[in-house]
């Protein structure tokens, strides 16, 4: 991988973010509004002597943004190139797909980290909720699992768009949210119906959410849960790379890659 | 030299050595692209020598753009070989891409960001040294320095085309693949654009593969023209030689007074296809070689010829003939 290629894609991401109100709204404003709404809901729940439950809900919403923004950044970052009919220009340059994807992932992580910091300050200021009570190490591990999972999701979505066309672009900002209830973002996994618990156990974020809640409640680092989450997330990443490569190859075989910009 | 002769199994054999000697920048052999039973590109072979401009012509759906996409690696081929600078494109993809570039009317840059920002991104992708200086020089050359801080989507079509050309020249390519680069430009801007392309060819020995529907552009800048129809090469020659394939020409003759009564029987006798406009001028569709004889014959019908116009075939006529029948 060549640094200047990666820097080129990172520069493009930065320029697009600076110039696009939609990106600023989607990546920063809308998530902060979400955090605000869930802060109010949590405050209401806490008022009914359900303080821990309220904190779980609020923490869930705050951390969920890492998955949502990582996935959004990778997919929508690429959609800007497709919408502008610039994707072909990118790949007739000596840019490797892996360099492009890595840069998009790095950009997503930076945006997610920025949002997490902003959201944490916001919740401390407005709702007196200190996310550091979860523990810095717990937060770092949660971020790792969520960023990897968001990246894996994004890669599959991107592969689908390359293969089947931009009519499926809506998956970019909708599909990740499907996993929010399934990953038990706001409540312990046991609260899910039995059938859905089985689904939750194959999703990496379920383990990280559970570990984060344990961190908040008991101030511990739940290594077994994090280990399961990281291993699963890495497995998802490997699988998503395979799926993406297959879809990309098929897209080029059937001419869809070029047609996406027609 | 990167080229290594194949000992077996490939389509590149002894004649490869000859091709190398002519310094072909691009060599395409037996290129094939199938979508199920449909062949979009069917056994296409050609080469682009250093410093030459090769034009791709053909009706819509002939396979021109698909061929360009395959040559750029954004569509996979079903068969055949592609070599840039003697290197196999499949195994030396990144090295090849570093030395080539493309401009197309169908691709644009990111509309949201400024011209300079767009070009800085591509300068990084091509690892251009002294990127800002290079960008400034190219913008100056294309007379669009003033657009540098404008958002790309606020530019006119002509400005965008020139920015695309700046992008395509950032890495000092040795071959440029241009897919209808002047489409939708007004004649003045198209002319300026072609002039710059001609300069690049002259100054740097730039090789170009050029597709266009504009016959006068093709005639003007191409050293060789390849006609594609339904994925196959149906004609390949210099523009001049291709035009020579059509021997018919139109002869328009005006007389000083009514000539129909005396000239019409003569032309009928010669078996010519003709049409009178009024009674004092006639348009004759004939073989170019017969024009002197017909003029001589008409001048001996007792009528005085006051004006002669000969309309020779153009590349457009060749194109129409191929599109309608096939050479």
Q: Count Cβ–Cβ pairs < 8 Å, chain A vs chain B.
A: 105
| Residue of B35, B36, B69, B124 for testing the chain A interface, max A β-carbons within 10 Å | B124
Inter-chain CB proximity A96 and B94 less than 8 Å: yes
Per residue in B141-191, pLDDT tens? Answer: 888 999 999 999 999 988 998 999 999 999 999 999 999 888 777 888 888
Q: What is the rounded average pLDDT of the residues A83-106?
A: 95
Which residue among A16, A95, A258 places its CB closest to the CB of B75?
A: A258
| Residues B123 and B264 both lie in one domain | no
Is the per-residue pLDDT at B6 higher than 60?
Answer: no
Least Cα separation, residue B143 to chain A (angstroms): 23
Domain count of chain A? 1
| Residues B207 and B288 both lie in one domain | no
| Residues B191 and B250 both lie in one domain | no
Rounded to two decimals, what is the model's pTM?
0.85
Quick check: B160 contacting A, CB < 8 Å? no
Other Cβ atoms closer than 10 A to B270:
15
Quick check: B19 contacting A, CB < 8 Å? no
DSSP conformation class of B113: S
- E strand or H helix at B99: helix B93-99
Least Cα separation, residue B125 to chain A (angstroms): 5
Domain-embedded: residue B41: yes
CA B187: distance to chain centroid? 17
| Residues B261 and B211 both lie in one domain | no
| Residues B20 and B46 both lie in one domain | yes
Domain-embedded: residue B5: no
Q: Which two tokens stand for residue B204?
A: 């740097």
Task: State the pairing for strand pair B100-104/B175-179.
Answer: parallel
Per residue in A221-251, pLDDT tens? Answer: 999 999 999 999 999 999 999 999 999 999 9
Domain-embedded: residue B215: yes
- Contacts with B63 from chain A: Cβ below 8 Å: none
pLDDT at B215: 83
Is the per-residue pLDDT at B1 higher than 50?
Answer: no
Domain-embedded: residue B2: no
Which residue among A4, A261, A262 places its CB closest to the CB of B124?
A: A4
Least confident of A90-104, B252-266, B311-325: B311-325
| Residues B127 and B152 both lie in one domain | yes
| Residues B201 and B95 both lie in one domain | yes
Per residue in A180-207, pLDDT tens? Answer: 999 999 999 999 999 999 999 999 999 9
Least Cα separation, residue B76 to chain A (angstroms): 5
| Residues B263 and B179 both lie in one domain | no
Angle, helix A204-218 to helix A223-253, in steps of 10 degrees:
150
Helix, strand, coil % in chain B, rounded to nearest 5: 40, 30, 35
Question: Distance between CA atoms of B228 and B61, rounded to whole angstroms?
Answer: 9
Inter-chain CB proximity A252 and B113 less than 8 Å: no
Question: Distance between CA atoms of A59 and B80, rounded to whole angstroms?
Answer: 57
Per residue in B47-78, pLDDT tens? Answer: 999 999 999 988 888 899 999 999 999 999 99
- State chain A's mean pLDDT as an integer: 94
Domain-embedded: residue B36: yes
Which A-chain residues 11-30 have CB contacts (< 8 A) with chain B? Answer: 11-12, 15-16, 19-20
Per residue in A114-160, pLDDT tens? Answer: 999 999 999 999 998 999 999 999 999 999 999 999 999 999 999 99
Last residue of a domain, one of B185, B213, B238: B238
Domain-embedded: residue B66: yes
Q: Which two tokens stand for residue B122?
A: 């591509």
| Residues B113 and B51 both lie in one domain | yes
Q: What is the rounded average pLDDT of the residues A77-93?
A: 94
Question: Distance between CA atoms of A245 and A233, rounded to whole angstroms?
Answer: 18
Quick check: A88 contacting B, CB < 8 Å? yes
- State chain B's mean pLDDT as an integer: 88
Inter-chain CB proximity B125 and A8 less than 8 Å: yes
Are B40 and B229 within 8 A, CB to CB?
no
Is the per-residue pLDDT at B8 higher than 60?
Answer: no
Residue span of the structural domain in which B310 resides: 245-324
Is the per-residue pLDDT at B241 higher than 90?
Answer: no
Domain-embedded: residue B3: no
Q: What is the rounded average pLDDT of the residues B115-136?
A: 97
Last residue of a domain, one of B223, B238, B253: B238
Quick check: A95 contacting B, CB < 8 Å? yes
Residue span of the structural domain in which A89 resides: 3-259
Domain count of chain B? 2
| Residues B216 and B256 both lie in one domain | no
Residues 6+ apart with CB under 8 A from A70: A105, A108, A109, A111, A112, A146, A147, A150, A151, A154
The CATH number of whichever domain residue B53 belongs to comes to: 3.40.50.300
Least Cα separation, residue B320 to chain A (angstroms): 26
pLDDT at B297: 92
| Residues B137 and B254 both lie in one domain | no
Question: Distance between CA atoms of B264 and B273, rounded to whole angstroms?
Answer: 11
| Residues B268 and B143 both lie in one domain | no
Smallest Cα–Cα separation from B81: which of B16, B129, B146, B128?
B16
Domain-embedded: residue B211: yes
């Amino acid at each position: 991988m060549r640094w200047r290629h990666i820097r080129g894609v990172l520069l493009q991401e930065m320029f697009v973010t600076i110039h696009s109100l939609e990106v600023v709204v989607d990546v920063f404003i809308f998530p902060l509004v979400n955090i605000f709404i869930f802060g109010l809901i949590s405050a209401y729940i806490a008022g009914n002597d359900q303080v821990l439950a309220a904190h779980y809900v609020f923490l869930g919403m705050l951390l969920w943004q890492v998955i949502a923004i990582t996935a959004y950044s990778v997919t929508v970052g690429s959609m800007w190139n497709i919408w502008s009919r610039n994707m072909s220009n990118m790949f007739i340059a000596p840019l490797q797909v892996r360099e492009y994807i890595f840069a998009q992932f790095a950009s997503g992580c930076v945006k997610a980290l920025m949002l997490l910091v902003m959201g944490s300050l916001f919740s401390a200021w407005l709702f007196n909720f200190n996310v550091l009570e979860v523990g810095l190490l717990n937060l770092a591990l949660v971020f790792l699992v969520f960023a990897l999972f968001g990246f894996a999701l994004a890669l599959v979505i991107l592969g689908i768009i390359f293969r089947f066309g931009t009519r499926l672009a809506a998956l970019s900002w909708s599909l990740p949210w499907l996993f929010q209830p399934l990953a038990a973002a706001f409540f312990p996994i046991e609260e899910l119906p039995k059938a859905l618990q089985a689904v939750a156990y194959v999703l990496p974020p379920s383990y990280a959410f559970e570990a984060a809640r344990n961190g908040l409640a008991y101030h511990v680092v739940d290594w077994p849960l994090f280990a399961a989450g990281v291993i699963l997330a890495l497995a998802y990443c490997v699988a998503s790379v395979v799926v993406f490569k297959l879809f990309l190859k098929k897209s080029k075989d059937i001419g869809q890659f070029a047609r996406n910009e027609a | 030299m990167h080229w290594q002769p194949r000992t077996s199994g490939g389509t590149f054999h002894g004649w490869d050595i000859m091709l190398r000697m002519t310094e072909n920048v691009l060599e395409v052999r037996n290129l094939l692209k199938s979508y199920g039973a449909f062949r979009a590109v069917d056994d296409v072979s050609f080469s682009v020598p250093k410093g030459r401009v090769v034009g791709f012509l053909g009706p819509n759906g002939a396979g021109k753009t698909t061929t360009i996409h395959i040559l750029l690696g954004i569509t996979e081929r079903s068969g055949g070989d592609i070599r840039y600078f003697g290197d196999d494109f499949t195994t030396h993809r990144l090295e090849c891409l570093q030395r080539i570039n493309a401009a197309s009317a169908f691709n644009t840059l990111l509309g949201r960001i400024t011209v300079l920002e767009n070009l800085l991104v591509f300068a990084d992708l091509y690892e251009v040294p002294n990127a800002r200086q290079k960008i400034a020089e190219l913008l100056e050359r294309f007379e669009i320095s003033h657009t540098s801080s404008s958002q790309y989507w606020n530019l006119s079509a002509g400005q965008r085309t020139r920015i695309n050309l700046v992008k395509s020249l950032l890495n000092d390519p040795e071959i440029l693949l241009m897919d209808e680069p002047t489409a939708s430009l007004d004649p003045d801007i198209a002319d300026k654009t072609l002039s710059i392309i001609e300069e690049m060819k002259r100054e740097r020995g730039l090789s170009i593969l050029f597709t266009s529907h504009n016959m006068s552009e093709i005639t003007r800048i191409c050293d060789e023209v390849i006609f594609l129809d339904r994925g196959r090469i149906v004609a390949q020659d210099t523009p001049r030689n291709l035009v020579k394939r059509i021997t018919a020409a139109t002869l328009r003759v005006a007389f000083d007074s009514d000539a129909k009564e005396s000239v019409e029987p003569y032309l009928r006798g010669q078996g010519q296809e003709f049409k009178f406009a009024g009674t004092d001028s006639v348009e004759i569709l004939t073989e170019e070689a017969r024009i002197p004889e017909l003029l001589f014959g008409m001048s001996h019908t007792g009528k005085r010829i006051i004006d002669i116009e000969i309309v020779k075939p153009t590349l457009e006529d060749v194109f129409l003939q191929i599109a309608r029948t096939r050479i």
